Structure 1
Amino acid sequence: MSVLNVPGAVLHDHDFRGGNVIGAARDFSGGKVAVMVSAEGQVVPEILPKTWLSGTRALRQGALEHVLHRALDISASLALLLGTLPLLLLVALAIKLDSRGPVFYRQERVGLHHRRFHILKFRSMTVDAEKPGTAVWAAARDSRVTRVGRFIRLTRIDEIPQAINILRGEMAFVGPRPERPEFVEKLIAAIPHYADRVAVRPGLTGWAQVKHPYGASIEDARDKLSYDLWYIRGRSLWLDLRIILATVRVVVLRAGAR
């Protein structure tokens, strides 16, 4: 592992799945080294100072930009719901015919500033998928997934009802994916700056989702965090539009689903 010497710090060149670290970016507020940036749009969470969030674009946006972001969230969510309405009705019918249980699945997640809310998804697993009450990460070829569930997970159709969460203001169209409280506590304890993800609303899609495959481990969560923090650092309307377009490509190619 190589070492990068930067004034005020000795920083290690971390290996990412998407590429090696290429340089240091300075904090907006104090001019100190705050972020090591990779070629693939990641930052190294291990070397971020405690006050790094104050210099990010996400926290420095003005009222107009917040309004424009919210307008994008609402318009994109309505377009998604109205444009897929016939498909959603067919999926709801298929779920009812395929297995017993409700059409929709509600699950508690951690949102903006650690506020909890219930995410809405099409049910893709059996009703007793977590009968003991223990939170379990989804696995490849998960036996709990129903026949219809495999299809709607592969095509990401199961996520579309979250447009309702966006309209409620619980989520944004683009942002870090909301995680379950049981996992969040473990990940905050294990990964530096994991708690910083809640500085923005969680998203239906995000930079980590288009750049990293599905992960079900602490190591995967750390890798995805490096993308989420990069998004928070440079959040903008243009970046959101780029991510939305990239999401269409990911869905068409059926990449990273489980």
Structure 2
Amino acid sequence: MILQLFLGLVLFFGGFVALLLLLSAWDTASNGLFVQDRVGQHGKVFRIYKFRSLHRVTGRISVFGAWMRKYKLDELPQLWNLLKGDMVLVGPRPDVPGYADQLQGDDYIVLHCKPGLTGLASLKYRNEESILAAQPNPKEYNDTVIWPDKVRLHRWYAQHRSFWLDVQIVFFTLFPFLIDLDAWVERVVNR
């Protein structure tokens, strides 16, 4: 009975992922996958996978891509990174080369952890796209405000990680509407 339930869930989830991949491919006029180099544990570069949300020709976010991003479904292929051992469920989000290279001093502790699918910074900046869209210079705002704050949160997590904290992060990743996440993250970090 348990085996049947497990196989049923695997087939359902596999079918759902395959459907998202097909719709992403159709909507973006591509193969449906976005692959990018990221910096992982101990500075090791690995390839991260996402469903493509930008149209291959226009470079704009597709209708289906916007929907996937809204519900973070574009991140589902990163479960492959988790299965490969590149990532864990909770940890600092992996940066692209160029940002990770800017870590200094105590910030290097971030690279001692395997990167995660979700984390404190993911919760606080779950609406990062809309935050940046409201800025006159999004790149500058990211470089001077968001990225340093993410590093602060990643560093704190690396120094204080625990099973109970991971459980809370996963819970609030799945149910973000239950609490003011910005306030919760700051309460956790400043206690």
Q: What interval of TM-score do these two structures reach, taking the shorter chain for normalisation?
A: 0.7 to 0.9
Identify the structure with the greater helix proportion.
2
Task: Kindly indicate whether residue 174 of structure 2 is the aligned counterpart of residue 245 of structure 1.
Answer: no
Give yes or no for contact 2:37–2:47 (8 Å, CA) kept in 1: yes
Distance 1:146 1:179 in 2: 24
Pick from 109, 118, 121: which aligns with 1:196? Answer: 109
CA distance in 1 between partners of 2:28 and 2:55 (Å): 7
1:157 and 2:73 are equivalent in the alignment: yes
* Larger gyration radius, structure 1 or structure 2: 1
Change (3 A) 1:108 1:199: same
Quote the sequence identity (%).
32
Question: Who is 2:124 aligned against?
Answer: 211
SS of the aligned residue for 1:102 comes to coil
* Cα root mean square deviation, aligned: 2.7
Paired with 1:230 and 1:121, the residues of 2 have a C-alpha distance of 27
The aligned counterpart of 1:148 is 64
Paired positions, count: 160
How far is 1:220 from its partner? 0.5
Q: Quickly say closer, same or farther: Cα 1:172–1:83, change in 2 above 3 A.
A: farther
| Greater strand content | 1
Q: Does 1:182 align with 2:98?
A: yes
Matched residues in 1 for 2:67 and 2:119: separation?
21
CA contact (8 A) 1:106 1:119 kept: yes
* 1:110 aligned residue: 39
**Which consecutive aligned stretches of 4+ in structure 1 deviate over 4 angstroms post-superposition?**
80-83
Helix, strand or coil at the partner of 2:98: helix
The 1:183–1:126 alpha-carbon spacing in structure 2 relative to 1, beyond 3 Å, is: farther
CA contact (8 A) 1:156 1:251 kept: no
Tell me, in whole angstroms, the C-alpha distance in 2 between the residues paired with 1:168 and 1:240.
Answer: 20
TM-score by length of 1: 0.55
Structure 1: which 5+ runs fail to align?
A: 1-79, 130-142
CA distance, structure 2, for counterparts of residue 82 and residue 175 of structure 1: 28
Larger RCO (alpha carbons 8 Å, 6+ apart): 1
What's the counterpart of residue 48 of structure 2?
Answer: 119
CA change 1:237–1:128 in 2 (3 A) is farther
Which residues of structure 2 form unaligned runs of 5+? 1-8, 133-138, 183-191
* Residues in 2 aligned to 1:81 and 1:161: alpha-carbon distance in whole angstroms: 14
CA distance in 1 between counterparts of 2:11 and 2:100 reads 33
Give the deviation of 1:230 after TM superposition.
1.4
| CA separation of 1:203 and 1:83: change in aligned 2, threshold 3 A | farther
